[in-house]
Structure 1
């Protein structure tokens, strides 16, 4: 009656062994972490030096090397809350729309007369025509440039609104387009921040949107909040602008559609540049740190085909003229074009250190942030505080585990010891699954494991109590064990499914620490059901087959 097929026994012990094997690297955390870091460096093309080779040899390559990543509260690191200035993108949209408006109005110059762009707020484009009587005709021409908005909330809306004010034509983004633009700006900022953080090899950062225009950034293992700000706080907006002239007066009038920017290498010097760049960093496809012909750190760059064509055409037409390389509104270099530069590649030189050239290359590869960010909150969590959290979590787990083991042993004797073995395997399997999926363990996650330890024996308690009841019917121990498991199964499934649903809701709707708790709780429920229904039963059946007791006490 208690027969379990051989294949099922092999599968059960195979799953347990796999879980223990996956969890094992966490017992040698430092060695495995060094091995993984060395392997990652080699994959990125680093030379296998003696130090890297030694780190690689600390853990056998044939064994699993996945680790449970430690969260910010356990490992230490940096925490930032940034506000994205989404309105900055509106001005860029208006500047980008101006060439199209200009071209469509110029085609009707005979009717509407001459056109001239006027000064206006950043989020609108104002154009004056010399024939005010034709302002409605001009408005119709510009309205034809409108595009439909492809979003669920903007269906049926256009991206621009065109109004008139005397001889002036005013173009603004529609409210629906502003909402869509804000959403795209935040999503693009999230992706670029994630790429920048991933470039430096940090583990399991938390980068997520909060509210309408804020981004939460938590990076375990990084030195300080200032270091993280230096990495992601730079807009890294690169442009190549024509140079109009130089001046020593920052308040000089640059002229219409021009800007005046300071020089990085020459303090006190300023460049007057055309506002519209020839090419921008958005057209870069690669950037790598290098050294120029004088051995000074620099950055190599390469454009995509469209950027390469624009760059090549401009250099061919302006030999002997200077052009400025502008990074975040500062002129880092203003070389004179010596010859045609085909192929779309070049080098950025400046007063860089090796670290600065490497960081600039990282920022350019990741792309420019679409808008400026203001950091509203910043915190550095030291490794010592993280170690205190680990120690507190370890003590909580040991106390909870010890109390449960003692309770089960005293309450159910031999059967309680079987439940205790299954509980220890359960905890190991939780860490094995976390290692397999690359999960991050946080302090709330440890709370989820502690709760799982308490809940894990619930299923065994239900089974053992049912066995006790069945023993009173004098059907014999084998029949009592079989009926105990059969009749307790539905209650076990129902109780754990409802808890698993709660964990799923917490993971779906929660963020940060709440998700960490939900992950460990959900994994713990699955492993608890497996160990209670299969592992504990297999232990009891194996013991019963060897001892063949006439009576049993639970």
Structure 2
């Protein structure tokens, strides 16, 4: 006995030491790294610039692709050591430069990589007249181009210094030898960048373009040459410039939401589950500290949706404890001692916890493979949170509970019991629920043509720029404008600057802020810069960010949104059918998932929520999460079919009893998650509010469907469809 108490004390001390050690690393780091502030932040939190280029043409060699990535990386390194250039698919290159304050200037300098050509006077005339021509050099022959100042003369001369590749040196030597006294035209994307006169034959592999009016002009010429000197011709598909202030606000509000949410969840657990609730709070603290440690350990790039994923997973981390503690209460109610009840509670809860979390992991995996950008961060943190939550509940909570039991905390009053609930006939009353659900879904479908007829929307849903393509500018002013004031004062300035009519520009207020979102058709880089300059000249601007998406990318996002939900649903159907050895369990669960998705779809249609990249994350999260409560009920039905003897007890009674027994558990598992998302909605920045609102509706819809829809739906599929099959078989036998 003394030996067991010693082991229990040792386990608790070990837990405290390890937790405090991890907390120390989170705050102060280890060997100069590992601190919470060292976590890599995405562009939406750190500010910065991202660009996705598409390669022009079909015949793309791996060598040219690798060389282009290398040259772009060398250029990006000049802006930030944290900048990344990487190949995306077979014909795209992505650039991400976080944490830079001059993001707009960087985007302008990187520019729109295009074709660079050098021509002699004869071929330039052919080019200018639209006839076939030949070049003396192309961008592939240029190694480097830098602006400079020549102070060797009495008058300051601004120059561009060119360095050629080996093949370029030979070509340029031939060209200059044949064109002494004549001009060499440097053409970038069809425009003359410069036309210097050849003074002598140049065979050294480098040259200087002189007599340029200003350093700015020299820098412009050098930049154009560097951009065009890539082995491949690139075209901009998507770009995003984020102001650092937006990211700072997002981090601050998200941390606040996390602290408030954790406190509320801890309070709920202690009030409802007493002593085990206290233990779960200790485990939850360890979980949160471990999550921060893992973000550093696995070099996860934290994004705004990623923070939402962490907060969501905190609520889900408690779900497993709710399932376990409710099982423990049930075992104590049957007269078992606390030690026996705890062991039985963990054992009986294991299958529901594993099944629920694996289905959510399926959704996170689909999201990871099919989504892009910051939404990948959401999938990553959600998956990490799910794995850590299972470790927290099945290892940490179990270890602590067993340790305290060994120390004598075995009074049933500390754990609570369950009052017997009167069984409700959910199957009989399910028809009213089916009617209600049908009305909600029909309402969403009815709003689709209404939205399309609405001139302010013009589409069946309020598709964001990510799904439509175009340019979005988020501008934070020094004061708050009403929409009417913005249309009167801001709209004319933007319209004149970019040369687009007022009717093609859409303004949108950002709730509880001084920001205005300006949406337009896809703009060129020059137009975006013109808009920013005009707004800064006319108003006091605190922060400015832009996003530009081509129709190619937006079409892909629409396709991925639909495909990801279908793929996730099919995978879950297969998994549940396999685990429960009955395809009707899987079919009814997937139908309930479609029901939950349609509930949220109705919200998007009626409330005109923006349908963009986070829409995919929202739908898949709902698909992955709402199935948890369904699995709890199915798990109990499967258990009761053995305990209650399904041959003697009507199947209807088994279903009703199972739903009644798991009712409280279903409510509390969803309540903790709902609280976290609610706090995120109240406290979070505007960019995450719509996402949080949709998740709240999804959690409520999932709770409702798991209690009122899935059980009766499985019952009807089990009885009605089986009867039809037997009738058909009997007729066939005759």
Among residues 33, 39, 64, which one is paired with 1:68 in the alignment? 39
CA distance in 1, matches of 2:99, 2:385: 27
Query: Runs of 5+ in structure 2 lacking a partner?
Result: 416-734
Aligned residue runs from structure 1 range 84-233, under 5 A: 86=56, 197=76, 199-201=78-80, 221-223=99-101, 226-233=104-111
Question: Which residue of 2 is the match for residue 535 of structure 1?
Answer: 396
- C-alpha change, 1:548 and 1:280, in structure 2 (3 Å) is same
Question: Which residue of 1 is the match for residue 688 of structure 2?
Answer: none
Among residues 326, 342, 353, which one is paired with 2:215 in the alignment? 353
Among residues 518, 532, 539, which one is paired with 2:379 in the alignment? 518
- C-alpha change, 1:447 and 1:234, in structure 2 (3 Å) is closer
- C-alpha change, 1:541 and 1:18, in structure 2 (3 Å) is same
Q: Give the SS at the match of 1:326.
A: strand
Structure 2 contact 34–296 (Cα < 8 Å) conserved: no
Question: Which residue of 2 is the match for residue 24 of structure 1?
Answer: 27
Question: Which residue of 2 is the match for residue 330 of structure 1?
Answer: 192
CA distance in 2, matches of 1:358, 1:331: 9
Tell me, yes or no, if structure 1 residue 281 matches structure 2 residue 139. yes
Aligned residue runs from structure 1 range 363-378, under 5 A: 364=226, 367-368=229-230, 370-371=232-233, 373=235
Displacement of 1:23: 3.7
CA distance in 2, matches of 1:513, 1:382: 16
Q: Give the SS at the match of 1:440.
A: coil
Question: Which residue of 1 is the match for residue 258 of structure 2?
Answer: 397
CA distance in 2, matches of 1:374, 1:540: 57
Query: Runs of 5+ in structure 1 lacking a partner?
Result: 26-58, 90-178, 246-253, 262-272
CA distance in 1, matches of 2:85, 2:180: 49
Structure 1 contact 302–345 (Cα < 8 Å) conserved: yes
Structure 1 contact 281–368 (Cα < 8 Å) conserved: yes
Displacement of 1:505: 0.8
* Bigger relative contact order, structure 1 or 2 (CA pairs below 8 A, ≥6 apart): 1
Q: Give the SS at the match of 2:38.
A: coil
- C-alpha change, 1:331 and 1:521, in structure 2 (3 Å) is closer
Q: Give the SS at the match of 1:441.
A: coil
Question: Which residue of 1 is the match for residue 288 of structure 2?
Answer: 427
Q: Give the SS at the match of 2:278.
A: helix
Structure 2 contact 327–349 (Cα < 8 Å) conserved: yes
- Which deviates the most, 468-477 or 497-506? 468-477
Among residues 309, 327, 333, which one is paired with 2:170 in the alignment? 309
CA distance in 1, matches of 2:300, 2:147: 33
Aligned residue runs from structure 1 range 493-512, under 5 A: 493-512=354-373
Structure 2 contact 180–198 (Cα < 8 Å) conserved: yes
Question: Which residue of 1 is the match for residue 305 of structure 2?
Answer: 444
- C-alpha change, 1:362 and 1:537, in structure 2 (3 Å) is farther
Write the deviation string for residues 264-296 of structure 1: whole angstroms up to 9, x where unpaired. xxxxxxxxx994232222133445565546375
CA distance in 2, matches of 1:17, 1:450: 22
Write the deviation string for residues 317-342 of structure 1: whole angstroms up to 9, x where unpaired. 44844452615232435243535524
Among residues 200, 203, 207, which one is paired with 1:341 in the alignment? 203
Which of 1 and 2 has greater Rg? 1
Aligned residue runs from structure 1 range 440-519, under 5 A: 440-471=301-332, 476-519=337-380
- Normalising by structure 1, we get a TM-score of 0.57
- Which deviates the most, 399-408 or 289-298? 289-298
Displacement of 1:207: 9.1
Structure 2 contact 82–97 (Cα < 8 Å) conserved: yes
Structure 2 contact 305–375 (Cα < 8 Å) conserved: yes
CA distance in 2, matches of 1:423, 1:204: 35
